Structure 1
Amino acid sequence: MTSAVLDEALKKAALAWVSVGDGPALALWCMPLEGSLLVVSGPGEQHAPGLAEATTATVRLRGDNGGLIVVSDMAVTPLQPGTEEWDTVAPQLAQKRLNASGTFDALVARWAGAGCAIVRLTPADQDAPVTAPNLPADSSTATPRDTPARNETRKPFKLHRVRGA
């Protein structure tokens, strides 16, 4: 049985902070469906290392004001291409995927062909979710990780010196 806070957070989730094991929490786009979250990752999609192979993950969800309202351990269930569950869920997920090129059917076919993983995150029954007032007091911030996407910025060009009045 899940808490009412977790149920509501799951219904409204569009972004979840997911961490696998001792790894960092990653912001992942997700789609709520029947009390669980669906996440797609892999080539050409969001990067979620270890999520497809994991059995559990820690999920942090935010509320309407953008702040953390619940932390829960969730069971990770990968969906396999060609199964009835994949054929039902993948098109729904493709329709919610913003800025994807091609048709929904082409996107689902690309996910299956490229080896993308669709996983279902379901609240674990044995662990109660952490909600207020028991949420962590720290901000859960971390220093930015190294990434090839980071660019060095140059100092702006000055044509002439401006004299003070």
Structure 2
Amino acid sequence: MTSELLDRALIEEAAKKSGLIWVRGTGGPAARALWHVWHEGAVCLVGDGPGEQPLAGLADGGSAEVTVRSKDKGGRLVTFPATVTELAPGSAEWEATVAELKGKRLNAPDGEEMPARWSRECRVLRLTPAGSVVPLPAGSLAEAPVPTPATTRMPIPAGLPRLLAKRRKKERRG
């Protein structure tokens, strides 16, 4: 029982402090980085709508593997299995969860109208820890990046290195 309580405490503390988690749903694509909030004993997510994060592979009643990273170094802190629950829009639990998520959503295009849009177009999920913490792996778990339509920038302008060198020189003098 003590080990289970320590696992829960580790999961909760890590999830509260990290703004980003890695989630792999059952049968879903590779693990994805998702922003979240820790609310009432679970990781809470919003997504699958226009302008929101994709929640591919996460289905109501399914399971997921959640990895929480360190906020400062970005390294893996803890990995745990979770049960996925989709909250019904308008329910008391949905309202409380959305209030927490709304406070953490950065750069929202619609501000105060966000909960209404989430209700119409998005899914709100709770990932409740289920089981003990997964041991840290011995080797690398690096995977190929998820395909994306994003492209890289053009080559840097020829004069940029000189400009940066001048700026560094001024900083050293001042």
TM-score class normalised by the smaller sequence: 0.7 to 0.9
Does the CA-based 8 Å contact 1:11-1:35 persist in structure 2?
Answer: no
* Aligned residue number for residue 62 of structure 1: 69
CA apart distance, 1:63: 2.7
Question: 1:45-82: CA deviations, max 9, x gaps?
Answer: 00121214451100001135321011100111111112
1:136/1:81 CA distance change after superposition, 3 Å:
same
* Aligned residue number for residue 137 of structure 1: 138
Does the CA-based 8 Å contact 1:52-1:117 persist in structure 2?
Answer: no
Does the CA-based 8 Å contact 1:20-1:56 persist in structure 2?
Answer: yes
Does the CA-based 8 Å contact 1:12-1:32 persist in structure 2?
Answer: no
Task: Letter of the 1:146 partner, please give it.
Answer: P
CA apart distance, 1:157: 8.5
Aligned counterpart in structure 2 of residue 89 of structure 1, from 86, 97, 101: 97
How large is the Cα RMSD of the aligned pairs?
A: 2.2
1:91-130 residue pairs with structure 2 within 5 A? 91-104=99-112, 106-114=113-121, 116-124=122-130, 127-130=131-134
Does the CA-based 8 Å contact 2:12-2:38 persist in structure 1?
Answer: no
Does the CA-based 8 Å contact 1:18-1:26 persist in structure 2?
Answer: yes
CA distance in 1, matches of 2:154, 2:90: 50
CA distance in 1, matches of 2:81, 2:139: 19
CA distance in 1, matches of 2:155, 2:93: 53
Aligned counterpart in structure 1 of residue 11 of structure 2, from 6, 13, 17: 6
* Aligned residue number for residue 24 of structure 2: 19
- What stretches of structure 1 move > 4 A for 4+ residues in a row? 153-158
TM-score under structure 1 length normalisation: 0.80
Does the CA-based 8 Å contact 1:14-1:32 persist in structure 2?
Answer: no
CA distance in 2, matches of 1:25, 1:156: 32
Does the CA-based 8 Å contact 2:66-2:81 persist in structure 1?
Answer: yes
Does the CA-based 8 Å contact 1:18-1:25 persist in structure 2?
Answer: yes
Does the CA-based 8 Å contact 2:26-2:62 persist in structure 1?
Answer: no
Contiguous gaps of at least 5 residues in structure 1: 159-165
Task: Letter of the 2:139 partner, please give it.
Answer: D
CA distance in 2, matches of 1:66, 1:157: 31
Question: 1:106-128: CA deviations, max 9, x gaps?
Answer: 100001112x001011110xx21
Q: Name the SS of the counterpart of 2:84 in structure 1.
A: strand
